[in-house]
């Protein structure tokens, strides 16, 4: 006997009780069916504690509203909790308002209206084709080095490298000369888009030894979607294009997109601070070859200043790029030079020593380094982009970080390094700015 024919009423009743249309949440009364109202959408919120309250008391309040495992806590040894980040509905955000915190919706910051989708934290320039592209193939010509009395001469170095190795009053050096220690024992933290492991065995033979830290919002993985961090690394430690070939590299991968840049960089610097403490690093350089968008609130700028100040006190040399718009500096971190005199702001010059037309200027710029039409190894293993050299204060900043690490090998403090960077610099042309020199010949 067919079940449906034998018990038709029972079957219909069963279907109704299991149907979504008859679920108690959808019934207003007998036989009345309501449709589901759409859930309120969520957005990423940043919750920053103020100085005058018990953070852990508020944290419990936060966990009453959202699950603890959905909250990211930016907490560090020296700074405590700098912020919480989580997805909230507008109603949840409203319920969490408190005089003891500052709550910011990251994807609708009114202060960022002038920073639109065209925002570029690097804003590099690809020059017109001038160089034949070279691939990192097995038969590629290796850099030529000659060692004598502890000094290494790289005869096939690019002109920008030779400029940096030229002593005051001398004509341009015929090779890139440097002390063989080349920054050994000094750690350079590269806060950037990442690093492409496997990009070039020739340029990065020690890539497997590089350390990685991951800031909030950064994707996990030893890669470099933007390619920028890999080129910066080439300028610092690369076999062919590096200026301090023996330094220890730590990549701090960040998300520098318009919405996430500030909390990502704040988290990155906190992680660097913890790493410095945990590893007992006394000689280090922090490379910040980027600009940040308009800050989501005033307090987060204070956090950036606090972190950089603390790292400077820990013996870290701080370097950041001036920017590539050809205007007065108007973005962070460079703007903090007025609050943190120990931080170096780096501008770009060409190989003749003339300030690059797109290098941002202001009284904040205290170092100039060649950064025009450079050949650098990128994430694809090539030393340029279809024959086009890279220009930008990002790479000038990387050059300054490399020379800072190179000098730190024989200096005792970050203050001594900063003084040497300025004292060794000299003008290559009449009326031009003082340009960095590695001091290889005293």
Task: Please list the active-site residues.
Answer: 192, 228, 394
The DSSP secondary-structure symbol of 348 reads: E
Calpha distance 252→431 (Å, rounded): 38
3-state secondary structure of 30: coil
* Alpha-carbon 227 to chain mean position: 12
Residue 60: φ, ψ to 5°: -65, -40
CB-based contacts of 256, cutoff 8 Å, min separation 6 = 121, 122, 193, 264, 265, 290, 292
Q: HSE-up of 368 (CA within 13 Å, CB side)? A: 24
Q: HSE-up of 309 (CA within 13 Å, CB side)? A: 12
Residue 345: its H or E element: strand 344-349
Torsion 407-412-414-415 (CA) sign:
negative
Calpha distance 186→410 (Å, rounded): 10
Calpha distance 424→213 (Å, rounded): 33
DSSP string for residues in 201-238: TTT-TTGGG-EEEE-TTPPPSS--TTSHHHHHHHHHH-
Helix ranges (H only) for 238-367 are 261-279, 298-313
Of 355, 295, 352, nearest to 324 by C-alpha is 355
């Amino acid at each position: 006997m067919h079940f449906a024919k034998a018990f038709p009423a029972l079957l219909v009743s069963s279907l109704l009780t299991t149907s979504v249309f008859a679920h108690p949440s959808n019934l207003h009364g007998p036989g009345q069916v309501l449709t589901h109202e759409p859930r309120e959408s969520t957005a990423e919120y940043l919750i920053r504690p103020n100085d005058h309250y018990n953070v852990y008391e508020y944290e419990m309040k936060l966990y009453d509203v959202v699950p603890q495992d959905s909250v990211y806590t930016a907490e560090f040894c020296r700074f405590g909790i700098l912020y919480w980040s989580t997805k909230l509905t507008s109603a949840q955000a409203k319920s969490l308002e408190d005089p003891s915190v500052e709550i910011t919706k990251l994807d609708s910051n009114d202060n960022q209206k002038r920073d639109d989708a065209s925002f570029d934290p690097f804003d590099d320039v690809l020059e017109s084709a001038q160089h034949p592209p070279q691939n990192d193939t097995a038969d590629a010509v290796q850099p030529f080095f000659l060692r004598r009395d502890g000094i290494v001469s790289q005869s096939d170095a690019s002109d920008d490298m030779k400029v940096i190795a030229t002593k005051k009053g001398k004509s341009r050096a015929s090779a890139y000369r440097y002390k063989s220690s080349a920054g050994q024992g000094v750690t350079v933290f590269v806060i950037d888009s990442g690093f492409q492991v496997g990009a070039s065995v020739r340029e990065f033979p020690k890539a497997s030894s590089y350390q990685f830290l991951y800031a909030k919002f950064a994707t996990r993985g030893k890669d470099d979607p933007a390619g920028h961090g890999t080129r910066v690394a080439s300028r610092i430690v690369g076999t062919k294009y590096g200026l301090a070939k023996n330094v220890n590299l730590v990549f701090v991968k960040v998300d520098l997109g318009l919405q996430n840049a500030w909390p990502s960089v704040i988290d990155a610097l906190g992680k660097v601070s913890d790493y410095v403490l945990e590893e007992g690093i006394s000689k280090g350089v922090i490379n910040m070859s980027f600009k940040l968008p308009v800050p989501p609130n005033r307090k987060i700028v204070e956090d950036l200043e606090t972190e950089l100040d603390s790292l400077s006190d820990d013996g870290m040399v701080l370097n950041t790029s001036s920017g590539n718009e050809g205007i007065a500096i108007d973005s962070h971190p460079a703007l903090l030079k007025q609050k943190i005199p120990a931080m170096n702001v780096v501008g770009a010059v060409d190989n003749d020593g003339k300030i690059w037309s797109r290098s941002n200027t202001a009284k904040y710029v205290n170092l100039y380094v060649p950064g025009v039409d450079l050949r650098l190894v990128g994430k694809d293993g090539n030393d340029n982009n279809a024959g086009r050299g890279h220009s930008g204060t990002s790479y000038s900043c990387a050059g300054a970080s490399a020379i800072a690490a190179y000098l730190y090998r024989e200096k005792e403090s970050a203050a001594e390094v900063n003084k040497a960077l300025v004292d060794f610099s000299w003008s290559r042309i009449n009326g031009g700015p003082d340009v960095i020199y590695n001091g290889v010949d005293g």
